[in-house]
Structure 1
Amino acid sequence: MNRVIKLSDVAKAAGVSQGTASNAFNRPEIVRPEVREKVEAAARELGYAGPDPKGRLLRAGKVNAIGVATTETLDYFFADPYARAVMASISAACDERGAGISLISAANDEKLSWNIQSAIVDGFVLFCIEGGERLVELSRERRLPFVALQLDASDETISVIGVDDFEGARTAARHIGALGHRDVAVVSLELVDDRIGPVAPGEVEAAFYSGTRNRIQGYLAGLAEFGVDPVAVPVFETQNNARTVGAALEHFYAEGRRPTALLCMSDRSALIALDWLRQRGLSVPGDVSVIGFDGVAEGEVSEPPLTTVAQPIDVMGRMAAEMILDGIDSPRRERFEVELLVRQSTAAPRTG
């Protein structure tokens, strides 16, 4: 096996000290040209590629970069409009500081653990839509600062940025209820890993993902104010993609059933629903009203423009990045208000 060539080997071959050899690579302006040329010639002859940038950054104690981590596959950062919006605000904050970003994801837990342990970053922003507890555990093992987005945790030692999911969902349901809708269905995010399908009432309380549980409970509470029996509201668990949202809509519209309103737990699922309904000749909001949750830019230009519960995504993403770049002296808990944006995808149900 070939021996790894070290800086000390180059220094010995060039007849200089290791400090001088190091300066020839890292601070060439302070090394005499003839000495620098001798070191570079020795490096070429030995096949030495130069100092390890990872080691140099670690010795400096700060790398001026943040890691953004998710338990989803890497395409989540590009396919999901909420993730894209958050990443845009994180990127803007990093651009202003001249800082870098490392995207961290994995298809399984072993790879996720390795990716977090090996990332050259000053800290982590955690997308905790799903798998948040595992991301927190791995970040703690790394002993670097981290802030969790959308993690509903009672642990006061964790820095968290998010919104009141229950109140946001109740706001959406109240809007639908006030318009006169009573036959309403919920397109849900995951309650537990790797499952889709109809959700029984007792499964909501046992949900692993508290954000999903809180939103369902908010929807049901808001509808109950208008006399809608929570047990009668169909809920379908999806993975927030076209295949599973389509399965939810097929379920809701089976056997001639036609809900007059769909409460979608994300703007992504609401936008998928708009396409599904249009392809089947169903009018929005004429035949059915659709409301999302997030407030992404794509909802402004959808057909029709999407009514949604908007989170302050830009503020949240920027704050998360700045917390890591500035350092976190003590845990922070930041919860923001949501705003109902009423557009053309919701209206009163047809009569007669």
Structure 2
Amino acid sequence: MSEKTAKLADVAKAAGVSQGTASNVFNRPEVVREEVRERVLAAARKIGYGGPDPKGRLLRAGKVNAIGIGAAEPLSYFFDDPFARTVMASIAQECDSRGAGIALISALNNESVAWNIQSALVDGLILFCAEGADKLIELARDRQIPFVAIESPEKLGDLATITIDNFAGGRLAAEHLVALGHRRFGILALPFNETGSGPRTTDEVRAALYDNIRDRALGYFSVLADQGIAEADVPLFETRDRETVFAALDTFYAAAEPPTALLCMSDVIALDALAWLRSRGHKVPEDVSVVGFDGVPEAALSDPPLTTIEQPLAEMGRMAVQIVMAPTRQTGNTTADLQLVERGSTGPAKG
């Protein structure tokens, strides 16, 4: 008899005990005499029974004491992306304190992420919603288990979300640079849509698929407009990786009057920009100032240290776990506070 076909009833019969006694051997061995335990275990080995299915036991209990972390990204996202890595560290710490486990749920296409979310043995879900939010939220709704969406593109009243005010964050960054006397700006944007990169018009900004990216850009523009700087006079380039960041900067600094300040929609983009500027002999902040967005740990360690709009990433991770594991289903939006962290990458405009 193979392990796949052997059942607990077969073990009980082979050992000459009741099925209840056999069950206790595997689930409550302390209540069974030692000689009976040994006889049942020997019978199980002989017929190839490996023990009760842990999935079945957990499902019968109605709780698995684990949280699923979902993203429409490959698994490497959780380890490579500084934002995800920082929030994940906080989630892990909070789960450790509660004795709870974590299951990473990710995929490169809708079919596999659907299967992973539907089949994951978890009590609740934390969704990273920078991209693919609609699909993730739809799948989480179908599971009918608690979930919270981090950086959801919109506040969903009947669901739990943790968001930031991207428009206000954009304003904070631009206000800082304007106060330093800057008048020539370049914007390095996160992806607007699922594909593509390159220079973007203001109409394309407003038509962006991802609301958080649009709102950051509009926050920048609102401050610059107050200074009499037209949107059309501020070059904006949609980027996806270091290669496209470098391509954007090649374009910006080929102009007769290049930017003296760069508004970067993420710290990762800003760190890539610092690398390009350094390689081309541009001094930061003497020649050009750079502001990032997110507040990842790497920002404080760059050369020079990066001025950034800081999200409370660790607090967001803790809040997400608390929401998912609350005794009652949580709904509504929590807005995380942003703050400008001024470091060495920004300074007064030249001249």
TM-score (norm 1): 0.95
Superposed displacement of residue 328, structure 1: 4.3
| Residues 234-249 of structure 1 mapped to structure 2, 5 A cutoff | 234-239=235-240, 241-249=241-249
| 2:95 alignment partner, SS class | helix
| Residues 42-191 of structure 1 mapped to structure 2, 5 A cutoff | 42-191=43-192
**Which residue matches 1:266?**
266
Q: Does 1:293 align with 2:281?
A: no
| 1:116 alignment partner, SS class | helix
CA contact (8 A) 1:293 1:309 kept: yes
| Residues 187-202 of structure 1 mapped to structure 2, 5 A cutoff | 187-202=188-203
Separation in 1 of the partners of 2:291 and 2:184?
14
Q: Percent identity?
A: 55
Superposed displacement of residue 307, structure 1: 0.4
CA contact (8 A) 1:238 1:244 kept: yes
**Which residue matches 1:220?**
221
| 1:340 alignment partner, SS class | strand
**Which residue matches 1:282?**
282
Deviations 1:52-108 (A, max 9, x none): 111111111111111111111111111111111111111111111111111111111
Separation in 1 of the partners of 2:122 and 2:287?
50
Question: RMSD value over aligned CA atoms?
Answer: 1.6
**Which residue matches 1:21?**
22
CA contact (8 A) 2:307 2:345 kept: yes
TM-score (norm 2): 0.95
**Which letter does structure 2 place at the counterpart of 1:311?**
Q
| 1:346 alignment partner, SS class | coil
CA contact (8 A) 1:162 1:316 kept: no
CA contact (8 A) 2:156 2:332 kept: no
**Which residue matches 2:33?**
32
Segments of structure 1 that go 5 or more residues without pairing to the other structure are none
Segments of structure 2 that go 5 or more residues without pairing to the other structure are none
| 1:254 alignment partner, SS class | coil
Separation in 1 of the partners of 2:37 and 2:341?
64
Superposed displacement of residue 149, structure 1: 0.6
CA contact (8 A) 1:308 1:341 kept: yes
**Which letter does structure 2 place at the counterpart of 1:329?**
R
Separation in 1 of the partners of 2:306 and 2:187?
16
**Which residue matches 1:305?**
305
Separation in 2 of the partners of 1:81 and 1:328?
32
